[in-house]
Amino acid sequence: MKSLILTWALLLETPVRAKLKKTEGPPMGWNSYNYYNCNPNEQIIKSNAQGLVDLGLAELGYVYVTTDCGWMIPQRDSQNRMQWNTNLFPSGGAGLGEYLHGLGLQFGLYSGGGYYQCGSNNLPASLGYEEIDARTFAEWGGDSLKYDNCYAASRTVMADYSSPEATSPERHQKMAAALDDVDRDMAYYICQWGLGDNLGEWAPPIGNTYRISNDIYNEWRSIWRITNEVVPFYKSTTVGAYPDMDMLLVGLKALSLTEERFHFSMWALAKSPLTIGAPIDSNLMPADSLDVLSNEEIIAINQDELGKQARLVRRYTEEEWDIWAGELSGSRMVLGISNWKNQAQTVNVDLLAVNISSATARDVWAAKDLGTISGVQKLELEGHEMRVLVLSDIAAASSVPASAGYYAAADGTYAGGANKVGCSSGECAPAGSKASIARQGATVALGGVTASSAGTKLVGVDFINYELAIGTAWDWGSNTRNMTVAVNGGRAKRWAFPISGGDWSESDRMLIEVDGFVAGDNTVTFGVSGSAPAPDFVGFELFE
């Protein structure tokens, strides 16, 4: 990563300045793509903008109105400026901007870092014209720019996931510098799809938001896929730099009402932009969906002044549910208990999982104060429901599980084709090396794991997974790798490990609860689930 930054600095002679407009909270607004694809027109943009005002959404913060792909003609003018298709947009860019500003809204523009814009084979993007386009966008009164990544390496391949041009940050950095030089504040929405390495390092300094994934689409499974990709961005999410999980499906009649609430909640907790993709028309959008988008308490979580992304604190893969927790201002916490199962189920949530003894709780979607809660909470969840609780008056737990030892993968017994892999200094934390458990039947067993008592133990598994579901996004790619854990020869239980960081050397930790320990020495075995590779395994810490 340092070499990329150095190369870019040399190209510009000075490093990229990060003076672009930074919104305090994740941007909120509307984008034309999800419903109208690359076929927008002036009436579509104006009617949806008016809808934001008339339905009260603008007042809630949905103010950025972005015309996505398809707004221009193939030819630039005599000064090499992009030109609006006046058959579709008779008022042109400046006129559309004036209209939106007159409604109290923000004017969002769209381009890309390749030869052509997405969804076309002849509409120009900004490659080679960055400075001209930045000035032109400013002259039109633009307030934000979504910058896409199509046709990065050629004029014939629209979606390229592997070329140096598509995976490098340089084109997005170049447009950032161009926007930084114009005499207008503009928010910058990087849409590089999370390709290449270290998005969480290079994008936050220059972008207000940065797309972490391939496109969302109208299926429940895309919620699971994108959720597993956003997990490690808690490391870089901060005020003014937010991970973009893509536009909302709420209102598109693609999900059930319960699923829409789950989707909206997950995006809010992760501090993703809240960008509506449905038509803002009460004749087209279900009233219940409008209620989801208008939930002020969920919006407040998303817009919380701390700007901290919620973290995955427990995963129960075979049982199909998770616990997410995030810090909020005013010494509060948000909990998201997510049921990934198709059917309803009852789960037990121990507040000790988030180091809490007791707290005052509010069930956000029920709009109900629960009073003081403590200990284990028994929750009955619908299929695909996320229960969102906001906790205040928090009393910390007097005792929490303490470390009972760390066991590095390098010290294990390897079998079935598992391999030790060395790492460079500072990588594969905290052990500095890792195990590849990639073949069917491969295992790494760690003996001499000492427990003071028998039963279920909390285990922090340090892992590396960077198998991004980019080309497989439209199918069943999930951004997870499965690994089994067995204690003392017992049943090998499966866990789905999400993306861990920005490359195959950046680890993360997932906390799981593992049964089968005995007092004294134990052997813990990590293995492949089925025939697909497990995540790389760094080591684990035992807590008692």
Which amino acids are annotated catalytic?
Answer: 148, 215
- Tokens 């926007």 label which residue? 179
Measured between alpha carbons, how far is residue 291 from residues 112, 248, 264, 320, 378 in Å? 34, 14, 11, 27, 27
DSSP bridge partners of 461:
510, 540
Do 373 and 349 contact (CB within 8 A), yes or no?
no
- For 287, the enclosing helix (H) or strand (E) is helix 287-293
Listing DSSP states for 161-214 in one string gives SSSHHHH-SHHHHHHHHHHHTSSS--EEEE--TT-SS-HHHHSTTT-SEEE-SS
- For 458, the enclosing helix (H) or strand (E) is strand 455-464
Four-CA torsion 380, 385, 391, 395, nearest 10 degrees: 50
Rounded CA gap, 72 and 82, in Å? Answer: 7
Do 119 and 125 contact (CB within 8 A), yes or no?
no
From 381, 379, 340, 387, select the one nearest 363 (Cα to Cα).
387
Rounded CA gap, 408 and 539, in Å? Answer: 4
Using CA of residue 133, residue 135, residue 141, residue 143, what is the dihedral sign? positive
Task: State how far Cα 44 lies from the chain centre.
Answer: 29
- Tokens 């030790």 label which residue? 420
b/e 162-194 (16+ beta carbons within 10 angstroms → b): eeebbbbbbbbbbbbbbbbebeeebbbbbbbbb
Rounded CA gap, 212 and 229, in Å? Answer: 7
CB atoms within 10 A of CB 289: 23
Task: State how far Cα 407 lies from the chain centre.
Answer: 31
75 is written with which tokens? 């030819």
Whether a cis peptide bond, with omega within 30° of 0, leads into 430 is yes
54's CB contacts (< 8 A; 6+ apart) are none
